[in-house]
Amino acid sequence: MSFLKRAAVAAAIAGVTLSLTACQSNEVKQEMVKAPALNNQDLYEVDHEGRHYVFDDFAVYQDFLKVGETSFRKVFIGAGPHGESLVFGLRSEDKKKLEGLAGVDMYNGKLPAAKDFYGEMRAEDGRLYVFNTLEDMQEVRQNGEAAFRLTQIGTGPEGQTVVFVLNDSNKKQYPAELVARFKEMNAL
């Protein structure tokens, strides 16, 4: 075999090896890059002192319930369900974001809820509404009441009346999973 033929064969083999290596490393890089977390699995709302607060993070929500304020927030004057100020409590890592905030996007209907959604809404009258769909939460926010519900008087963390919000699809069933999740979230 002449020198040129051997060089051509070696170059062809090296080219195939290089292209296979490039494909493999590209696949590995794509696997290493994760899609950003949507943070759309839960939402919490609180009517407090004439403002409507919204949280997409359970820890921030719990801190708010303890102290009545949130360290980081995004405020929209007059944009609440009844014309009150709308305050989005933010996590520290979200405080500089101008967009892509899960709580804001879910509240405004721009981000769908996760399949295993959980929500709580604390009304000024002391009732605590519990949801397993974002659509039910939006409806109660607009109407002020739940068409279908299971009400448990005095079973909330501070003795509140707890309203488990139901809908056409589950109105005839005891919401065992939702009740259990509520108890787990509130350490009851």
Asked whether the predicted pLDDT for residue 174 surpasses 60, the reply is yes
In the block, residue with structure tokens 């101008």: 98
Mean pLDDT of 155-165: 95
| pTM for the whole structure | 0.78
Band (pLDDT 50/70/90 cuts) for residue 175 is: very high
Per-residue pLDDT of 36-70, as tens digits, reads 577 889 999 999 999 999 999 999 999 999 999 99
